[in-house]
Structure formats: C-alpha cells, structure tokens
Structure 1
Amino acid sequence: MALHRDIEDARQAEGQTINKKKIIFAASAGLIVILYLLLISRGRPEGFILGARADNAGAMYDRGMKWFDADGRPKEAMDILREKGLTHFISGITVSPLGEYGFDYVLKNSLRMAKSGLIPGAFLYLSDQACSVDIQGSPLLWSTYPGSEKAFAASGFAENIARDFKSAGLRFRLYSIGHETDLAICGVSMRDDRAKAFEIIKAAADAVRKNDSRAKIMISLGRWWDVEAAVDFFSAAMKYGINADYAGLSFYPQSSYEGGVSTPSIKAFIRNAETISGMSGLPVIASGASYPNSSDGGRSPDPLYPLTGAGQRDWLIDMLAACYNSPAVKG
C-alpha cells in the first residue's frame, strides 16, 4: 500500500475535481504525479503494493461530485487511478455499524471500488471511531468486558467481517489489526497491560486467517521516529504469537518528532523504516502519510517542500521514489 495517503486536503488536479478526498498509499496530486505513477508502476518491484484510501469516496459520489480524465471526460475516480498504475484500495471499519466506517457503508463503497479492478484491504479499528495514536477507545458494546472477553469479541468481529466480504464476492488482501496502536487498542493500554492488548490483536488476526488464508496481516504504529519502541513492539508482538506479515508505519511530517527535535525528512523516515524492518524481521508498509499544501500559520515541516500544491506534489513524488527504492518498504 504505497502510502496510505491522507489527501483529505487534496486539491483540484488537472482535469479532475478531487476535493476533501482521502487516498492511501499513492495519491493523485496532479498530472505530473499521475504520469510518475504510470512510469514507476511499469518497473514496480514484485509484490509492491500501490493503493489508495477511499473511505469517503461513496459519500462524495452521493453528494454529486464528479471526476474527469485529462481530456475532460467524466470518469470513475478509481478508473483513472487504476489506469495510471494503482493496484489496491483500503477502507477503515469500526465496530459500530453507523457512519462512513460502518460495515454496510464500507461494503457498498468497496463493491464500487472493486469494479475498477482494484484489490481491497481494511483497517479493523476495533473501536467505534476511526483510530489514531491518541484515539483507541473501546467499542461501547465491549466497554465493560475484561481483556479476555474483548479478545473473544474482537475475534468474532474480525471473523464476521472477513466472512461477509467473501460472501459478497470481495477478497480482501490486507487486514490491519488496529491502526497506530502505540499506546493502546480497544481501550486496553499497551503500557499497563500489553499482554491483554496483544491477546486482542492476536485473536482478531487469527480469525481473519481462519476465514481467508490468503489475506495478509499488518500491525501498525504512528511513532515512526521512536525506533527502539517500534522494534520492541513488533518483536514482542511476534514473540507473543501474532502472525503478522507487515509492520505499518505512519509518516506525517507536520507532526513528527525524533529525539525531541523536528526532523520529518523522507530520508529520516526511510532510514528508520529500514532499521525497524531489519531488527524486527518484518517488511514495512507506509500505512499513513500526507504532506500539507497550505499553511495554517506554521512553518513548512520540511524546508525542501514549501506549503503549496507544487510542494505537496514534489514531496509525494520523492516519497514514492524513496519507498520504491528501499528494500525494506513493500508499500
């Protein structure tokens, strides 16, 4: 999943209307980026995942938004990206059935995306909210469960999701168990009771594999700059028995810190990803990434890339190239 790319602040690209759009792995940040994707996709390393996040694509269609190709003709957004080398898309799924992360919405959206020939994947949030480092609350229905019962509930949730997608004719190739679980998952603190947290992750991962043996499993962190903590987390997870295929690392330069000093360069991210992969034994996927295209009053997080549409585009091109060229990064 080359860059779970959050382009919630994406802009109008040439010939396309892409406002407030989330894209993971790769993004359409303009014609130059699309041409770049087309070129590198021809020489893509075998097994490299290049995809787009499409959580709210269905809602945008429902609001009447349209996309256009370079000739100005109306076209499905994912058809445009598929033609330029995109291979996957991913959606977040909450335990709560309501909203754009609920199962029914994700199913409808995924069926539409799959018509473009893209391969689906999912974040299983194990929460009623879309999760991030600081948002890892327990689902309301599970809030009174002890750790072992939460693990049982997580197993049932993951099993139902994987089974129902298969029944709908969808074969999800990647499942992330949680998202950015540095501090907690499902309301269970990693610091206070890591064993219970790992029990929950393992239960969900095992349930997915039971129902779809071809699916790959990812566990992910948000603090890519803390190499020691990341290596400890991934190594301990595997020692516990979590059978993961990928280590996910989010990379948001506007909120990244290393050793107390802001050093959010692409080079630093790749260096750390390679160290984490080498020491944990897991290949890395950039499971969340974005670069701002406008200023909210702050300075540019990386002086090489100004806070403009062109700066965002150049950052994306360089980030994609760095991921492609790293033997440790697989998407």
Structure 2
Amino acid sequence: MSGLSDPTAKGAALSVPLRNTYRAVAIWLWSLAALVFLMVVVGGATRLTESGLSITEWKPLSGVIPPLNEAAWLAEFENYKKIPQYAQVFPDIDLSGFKFIFFWEWSHRLLGRLIGVATVLPLVFFWAKGLLPPGFKPKLLGVLALGALQGFVGWWMVKSGLVDRIEVAQERLAIHLLLASATFAALVWLAASLKARKAEISERILPGLRWFANAFVLLTLLQIGLGALVAGLRAGRAFNTWPLIDGSFIPPLDRLALLEPLWRNFLDNMLLAQFQHRMVAYALLALALLQALYTWRLAGRSRALRRAFALTGLVATQVVIGIVTLVLIVPLWAGLLHQAFAMIVLGMAVAHAQALSQGR
C-alpha cells in the first residue's frame, strides 16, 4: 500500500491548517468509500438472491430507467426466460417474483453509475479550483480508472452466466469483488491520509510495524477473493460443520486434488475452496494477534496499539460471523453481514497501515 502515500512531500503528518484546507476533499473521499461499501453489500444481496442474471443486456445510459409499464416488464421477463437460469433455477417464477430479482440487479447497477457520477463531478470541480492535495491527481485518476474497469468486468462476469451456465463464473466474481475491494481500500487510504495527527512512533521501529500492517492488508484481500470463490461455487452450502470439514480438520489430499488438471481444483473444487477460506481465516486471526503483541512490545501504549487490538477484535468477530453463516447454511442476513464485515476489516487494516506510513 506504500504507493498510496500521504499527500505531503516528505510524508509528515498534516498540520491542522492544512487538514482544514482539504476537509471537503476528505469528506468526498469518505463518502465515496461509503458508496463502494454499500455497493459491495448490495452486490452480495444480488448474488445471494440469485438476482445477478435478471438483466440480460448492458445499457450504460438507458439502463438507468427501469421498466415503467406492463409491456416493458413483460419484455424484460421474456429476455430472462431465454437464459438457462430461468429454466433450471426459477422455472415457476411469475412476473412479481421477476420484479423482485430485477430490483436487486438494477439497484446494483444504478449504484455503480451513481459512484461514477459522484467521482467524476467533484473531481473535476476540485481539480479546476486547485483544491486537490499535492500528488493526489494521478492517484484519483487511478481510482477513476479502477471504477471504469469495474463496469466492464461486471458485464464480463454477467455474460459468463447467460449461455451455458446458471450462474456467473466464480473466478470472474472473485475478480469483480477484488476490484471493488481495491477501490474501497484506495479511497480509505487517501481519505485517511488527510487526517491531521502528529507522528508518535520512532523511525527505528516503524519498518517492522509497517511490514505487519501491509502484510495484513494483502492477506485480507486474498481472503476476500477466496470468499468470492466460495460464494460463486455455493461451497458454503456444501460443508456445514465446524471445526471439522467433511469429517476432518484437514481433508484427505485426494479429495482436495480431485480434479484434473491440478490447477482446476483451486477454482472448481468446492471442498478445496472452503478449506482454503477457513485456513486463511485462521492465518488472519493469528497475524492480527501477532501484530498486536509486536506493536505492544515495540510501541507500548499508543494509537498504533489501540488500532492493532481493534483490528484483532474485528477479525475475531468476523471469524464468529463466518462460522454462524456456515452452520446455518448461509441465510441471507448472515451472508450479507459476513460480506459487509469483511469490508470493515479491510477498511480498518488499510487505515492502520496508512497511519503507520505517517509514523502514527
């Protein structure tokens, strides 16, 4: 995450007058992060309700307006009836049921458009008025590019489920969610860098603390991607015991490497997908504990220590939510809570890493 450093030339914490100068920019960035967070949650609801394939065309402009009369609704419904998901998943769905799943996908796409507008218009304004912090212009253009790419990847994902499948390809779902997570992380980093606080940690101990923080962010992103594979494969509904999975803590190798060629198991094997997700969850919790203890040892009672312990608590809570989601066989509320909390963990991890980049 070091590429998203603070806006000051030498990395020192912002002074209060400078912070006040960029307060509007900070509010804008935090608002964008909140919108991306909301979009991830709505995307989770779209997936859990099997709504993602209800809109079978990509209309970047005209798609803003939903069907406004019965004839338009029937036309959309007829388009949906042409894809395999209708016959194999919702063969008995009526127009009212179709409107329900359509609403989720339409809301998800509308949020994407709203985020685009909420990014571009203020960016043009702040840029034209010279209100952007030094070094922010290329970074914000990068965020904008991530958002544009997300739109194309979203349609690429949906297309994978329109012909020969009844759901989107899990690897495309993982890429889609990881792009959203990267965008969210970038926005949190930039927004947090505008917070004014004095550095309080010695440069001598910062490298070790930063290593832990950056490693934690990367491992969190990996776990989010693995979670998307589990979701795409519906693996959370397949093995619903804990702490054992399929009768053992570590499944037999022949079950984990069931498919050929071997690499297919990492994308298509439900058992391996869920096993990986569980093991990385344990690794994240262990890393959070180690980070907290290491910070306590080196930095003592400090803001960094409070953040490290808060992060440990968030990860422990997320593990519990994940277990509950699993044993209850992924009810909608638990699945959404699990996905939303993953983003909270990511946001906290990024904010912690960013603060350490400024020595605080």
TM range (shorter): under 0.3
Under a length normalisation based on structure 1, what TM-score does the superposition of the two structures give? 0.26
Using the size of structure 2 for normalisation, the TM-score is 0.25
Larger RCO: 1 or 2 (CA < 8 Å, sep 6+) = 2
Please identify which structure carries the higher strand content: 1
